[in-house]
Amino acid sequence: METIAPIAVPASITDPASFGFAPCEGGICAAEGIKAAGVHAGFRADPNRRDLALVAADQTCVCAATFTQNRFCAAPVQVSRERSANGRARAVILNSGNANASTGDPGVKNAIASAALVAEALGCDEQDVLVASTGVIGVQIPMAPYETGVPVAVDALAHSAVAAHHAARAVMTTDTVAKEVSLAGPVACGADGAEVNVHVGGFVKGSGMIMPNMATMLCVLATDAPLTAAAAKKALSAAVRQTFNKVTVDSDTSTNDTCILLATGAAGGEAIGERHPMRLREPRPQDRSRWRGCHQARHGRRGRCRNRRGR
């Protein structure tokens, strides 16, 4: 039998290990200053299925967001796109079971009203609450699940891996597993360049209607790194371009795609601006060439895959 030796694929510039980051516990709650909850509110008939997620910072913090490029965007996207433009947020409320898409002005009013319920419960400004929905399109979203579910979700808020997992499960639709990640690593943002240990965590849902320019995807990320609003926006946009915007399953672009980053700054250290040396950059021409070589080798074509040292 012919022996086929595996090829060594070098780490890409988006590999967390290349920045000194490693997996840690906590999900989205790995970031200090972040709490989460996932409860059953009634968007779904099954009482054992969580359908309302809440992610809240201890106080209003830096935020950045990217959204679907579909011109027929859902009501929650319209609301959150406008509110996130100022680079500040306190909380994100998400539901599954109803997308609140193709619902016209009533849908927008319901999205605003759902955020108002969260703001009242948390004691913050309504403009600091972002909204996201996923599920059935073309059906007006009921307010009753928000009215009963938001107080329960606020009471359930906790800074724990369990709470993070409950939130991740609450946004699932056709997903077969909850999708979560959390990482920790050093960043030079202390006085005189001293390193500060920061955390990044989050969850995402999406398994169908996946096409470049995101997908039927709701994603919430959180970090305790002291990012400026400009740096958060630039980093998130660059990361989304290199990841979510390159995934295709069935060539459909959704109405509800939303990716939100909250940055609490609770890790301490000096503010990280756009020109921080650890900033995420776009692939260089040599990176693209090297990745094409790996692709050709992986598919049996002639070519070699080398790392930066030529091995």
Residues 127 and 203 in one domain: yes
Q: Look at residue 4 and tell me if it is in a domain.
A: no
8 A C-beta contact, residue 140 and residue 75: no
Residues 82 and 109 in one domain: yes
Overall domain count for the chain: 2
State the average pLDDT over residues 270-296: 55
Q: Which parts of 160-273 are beta strand (E)?
A: 179-188, 195-205, 218-223, 258-263
Residue for token pair 């169908």: 208
Q: How do residues 175-188 score in pLDDT, each as one tens digit?
A: 889 999 999 999 98
Q: Look at residue 12 and tell me if it is in a domain.
A: no
Looking at residue 281, what is its pLDDT?
Answer: 45
Which structural domain, as residue segments, surrounds residue 167?
18-280
Residues 295 and 192 in one domain: no
Q: Look at residue 131 and tell me if it is in a domain.
A: yes
Looking at residue 250, what is its pLDDT?
Answer: 61
Residues 276 and 289 in one domain: no
Percent pLDDT > 90 in the chain is 64
Q: How do residues 19-73 score in pLDDT, each as one tens digit?
A: 789 999 999 999 999 999 999 999 999 999 999 999 999 999 999 999 988 888 9
What is the chain's mean pLDDT, rounded?
84
Residues 112 and 198 in one domain: yes
Query: Is 216 noted as a catalytic residue in this protein?
Result: yes
Residues 55 and 122 in one domain: yes
Q: What is the distance between the alpha carbons of residues 224 and 209, in angstroms, rounded to a whole number?
A: 32
Q: Is 191 exposed, middle or buried (0-12, 13-18, 19+ CB in 10 A)?
A: exposed
Q: How do residues 121-177 score in pLDDT, each as one tens digit?
A: 999 999 999 999 998 889 999 999 999 999 999 999 999 999 999 999 999 988 889
Residues 101 and 196 in one domain: yes
Residues 148 and 183 in one domain: yes
Residues 250 and 285 in one domain: no
Looking at residue 18, what is its pLDDT?
Answer: 74
Q: Look at residue 242 and tell me if it is in a domain.
A: yes
Task: Kindly tell me if the per-residue pLDDT of 217 is higher than 90.
Answer: no
Helix, strand, coil shares, percent, the chain, to 5? 30, 25, 45
Q: How do residues 32-45 score in pLDDT, each as one tens digit?
A: 999 999 999 999 99
State the average pLDDT over residues 233-246: 88
C-alpha dihedral sign at 10, 12, 17, 19: positive
Residues 245 and 307 in one domain: no
State the average pLDDT over residues 255-267: 95
Choose, from 66, 68, 134, 216, the residue flagged as catalytic. 216
Residues 288 and 167 in one domain: no
Q: Look at residue 241 and tell me if it is in a domain.
A: yes
Residues 303 and 161 in one domain: no
Helices (H), the chain: 75-84, 104-122, 144-156, 161-170, 229-242, 285-298
